Amino acid sequence: MQMTLWYMPLLYISMSVLVVIITLLLDIVFQIEQYTFEFFRINAEITRMLVSTLIGGILTLSAFTLNSLLVVLTTFSGQFSPRMLLNFVADKRTQHALGIFNGNFVYVLLVFLFIGNTEYESFVAVPIVTIFLAFTSSVTFIYFINHATTWMQVHNITDTMKKSSQQIINQTLRKDLEQYRTKEPGDLMEEYKSEAQQVEAITSGYIQLIDYRAMIEEARKDNILIQFHSQVGDYILKGNNLFSFWGPDAHKVDEEKYCKMVSIDYKETELQDIQMGMHKLAEIGIKSLGNDDPKSAINTIHQMAELMLTVEDFITFTPYLVDNEKQVRIVLLSESFESYIYRGFGFIRHYARDNHLIITELVDSLAMVAASIDESKHQMLWEFACNTLDHIETKVIYQLDKSILLESLERLAKITGNKLDYYAIYRRFYPVN
């Protein structure tokens, strides 16, 4: 709901209706003009004119805001990524701005409807609240323009994408998965695996969500073990194998209740799919390369490197999920840190091609990541960097580009303990006659 445009405006409209009721009660039922100073009392005719004028003013500001929103969305879609539109729409500042305009417009519209034919000679609450809401609309308009222009800056976009992915890791994946993960598989009920029953997808689409907590609890009650053949973010066709299960009581299992715990729909979401967020961040870098904007691409690489630290810190790369009795109940598809390196840097590397400056920055970022993570993952980073350099034609690279690239690679080699392999690559760039 928070990722749609109608959610917040609907909330503000509901609040405006409540404020309309309160102000009309104060002026018409309780007649508070009797208890206020003469200065605050405004003639009924002037009040009607004020409200009718502000209806057009607030509507005009709303139209300008909507136009600005459309410009921002068009710019995002063309220059960065159409998949980023949802992030701007889901931003709370965007939703609050639209909500304020819609709420204020509904307020003045309803108030004008009720005071149009009233016989009361003066009002207090209605004009004061109306003027306050008009002032709020004008300030919100300025705020929204500043928010849109600030959000469109590349460094802010990449930082937002990175924080969004970190939030997925910390609040979703960590809570849903990490507390159930175990490195030791234990009893996998191998004696029943030959009688495993296959469960097919009931519809085509992307796997969006899996209720791991409920599935583990139900698997414990049914005394079965579930193995997934696809993961969150994968596209699956109706009739494809989704998961299989086996166990001593597998023949008594209601397959339908487990299918309801897996959400499949026509689009990808980031709620449990960290790779979707990494794809969007990488796409910013790719679009920047296509627009001849290397600085933006470098900024994307730096944000991706920081995201790798979060992945290494909070994700345990084991496919086994256990219940509260430490019995394995779910087996996921195996993942490794290397797969996240590829998802993060692989697409940028592919589109950078012969852009030696970007390749150099990428290798330098890998060296920074290697200096901050566990040594067990050093070899993955080194092999990725070596594979990246394999496609570079040593005869067409400028001398200074070559020197800086090798300096970055040497720094990575020292951190990962691959000095001998570095010298082999060095000799490829500077062959001995």
DSSP secondary structure string for all residues of 220-265: HHHT-EEEESS-TT-EE-TTSEEEEEESTTGGG--HHHHHTTEEEE
pLDDT the model gives residue 330: 92
Q: How far apart are CA 391 and CA 353, in angstroms?
A: 8
Give φ, ψ of 25 to 5 degrees.
-65, -40
Residues in the chain: 433
Q: Is the pLDDT of residue 82 over 80?
A: no
- The DSSP output letter for 390 is T
pLDDT in tens, 384-395: 999 998 878 766
Using an 8 Å Cβ cutoff, are 360 and 405 in contact? Answer: yes
Gap between the terminal Cα atoms of the chain: 67
pLDDT at 405: 92
Q: How far apart are CA 224 and CA 218, in angstroms?
A: 9
Q: Which two tokens stand for residue 165?
A: 């992915």
Q: Which of 70-79, 94-103, 324-333, 358-367 has the lowest mean pLDDT?
A: 70-79
Whether the per-residue pLDDT at 343 is higher than 70: the answer is yes
Give residue-wise pLDDT tens across range 359-412.
999 999 999 999 999 898 999 999 999 999 887 876 678 888 889 999 999 999
Angle between helices 92-115 and 44-75 (to 10 degrees): 150
Each residue of 393-423: b (16+ CB within 10 Å) or e?
A: eeeebeeeebebbbebbbbbbebbebeeebe
The residue that leads in pLDDT, 167 or 95, is: 95
Residue 205 has a pLDDT of: 93
- Dump pLDDT digits (tens) for 304-324: 999 898 888 877 778 899 998
Mean pLDDT of 45-67: 82
Q: Which amino acid would we find at residue 372?
A: S
Nearest CA among 248, 407, 249, 234 for reference residue 332 = 234
pLDDT beyond 70 at 79 = no
The SS3 of residue 424 is: helix
**Residue 410, both tokens:** 């040497």
Query: Strand, coil or helix: what is 418?
Result: coil
Would the pTM count as exceeding 0.85?
A: no
pLDDT at 407: 94
CA angle 417, 423, 426 (to 5 degrees): 130
The amino acid occupying position 289 is L
Residue-level pLDDT at 1: 61
Residue 32 CB: number of other CB atoms within 10 A? 17
The answer to whether residues 347 and 279 touch, using CB atoms and an 8 Å cutoff, is yes
pLDDT tens per residue, range 134-171: 899 889 988 988 888 887 777 787 787 788 777 777 76
Other beta carbons within 10 angstroms of residue 5's beta carbon come to 14
Q: Is the pLDDT of residue 92 over 70?
A: yes
Buried b / exposed e along 270-285 (16+ C-beta atoms within 10 A): bbbbbbbbbbbbbbbb
**pLDDT score of 361:** 94
Nearest to 382 by CA among 430, 351, 337, 431: 337
Query: Is pLDDT of 14 > 80?
Result: yes
Work out the percent of the chain whose per-residue pLDDT is above 90: 32
Amino acid type, 192: Y
- pLDDT, averaged across the chain: 85
- Residues 170-210 pLDDT 10s: 766 676 677 888 888 888 898 989 889 999 999 999 998 89
Could you say which DSSP state residue 204 is in?
Answer: -
